[in-house]
Chains A and B, each alone.
Chain A
């Protein structure tokens, strides 16, 4: 099977619509097929990876812990828009600490979140072969 660069662009808040959860499921499936997968969190998509999510009160499953498993799936590049965070009154400290273990560096734990501005995000997008937007 040929390996392609996949980018999943996440632009919606979780729980209010099903996009965030659907995206996460497709991400896990494509990673199981050993594709080179990266994620982008833009606009309201940044709310998907906020820390301290507690969905008990709305009777829905809290799927935010699953983002912490992405490293196990060799998904190590999570691009987060700095402008989107700032517009929403958020900083990187409001996000979960998402990491992966680098097999090429004695399994050292490294951060998966990469903060990028719009220009850098656009340049990263230009390098992708398949882009799926949710």
Chain B
């Protein structure tokens, strides 16, 4: 039972992203959207936690939100950039979806 976790809050401002990572299971997918996309940037103080999650989970980031914040091309290796169609595919390909608001 794979679950898609959608997180939309900056990890530097709220604990939602941390909580999401703490509750996601192996085989789950994590998608960063809106202000959470800042968590995808390489070399930040949060990047280690995302990297650790990648050991047994797949991690995605919504490209248009990354571009809006001037962060296109700064996503760390191993994070898959998706567009809105990719977002839909993720929700369709996982059994359940949980939004970490």
User: With A and B bound together, what is the CA distance between A62 and B65 in angstroms?
Assistant: 12
Whether the pair B67, A55 counts as a contact (CB closer than 8 A) is: yes
CB distance from A122 to the nearest CB of B (A): 19
In the complex, how many residue pairs between chain A and chain B have their CB atoms under 8 Å apart? Answer: 82
What is the size category of the interface that chain A forms with chain B? 20 to 34
Chain B residue with the shortest CB-CB distance to A13: B35
In the bound complex, residues from chain B placing their C-beta under 8 Å from that of A16 are 8-10, 34-35
Known contacts A13-B10, A43-B13, A88-B12: A55-B68 contact under CB 8 Å: yes
Which of A2-10, A25-33, A46-54 participates in binding chain B? A46-54
Q: Residues of B within 8 Å of A, CB-based: how many?
A: 25
CB distance from B101 to the nearest CB of A (A): 12
Residue among B10, B63, B70 making CB contact with A94, cutoff 8 Å: B70
What are 25 inter-chain pairs, A to B, with CB distance below 8 A? A11-B13, A12-B35, A13-B13, A15-B34, A15-B68, A16-B8, A44-B12, A44-B35, A47-B38, A50-B70, A51-B70, A52-B70, A53-B67, A53-B68, A53-B69, A53-B70, A55-B68, A57-B65, A57-B67, A58-B68, A64-B70, A87-B12, A87-B44, A89-B45, A89-B47
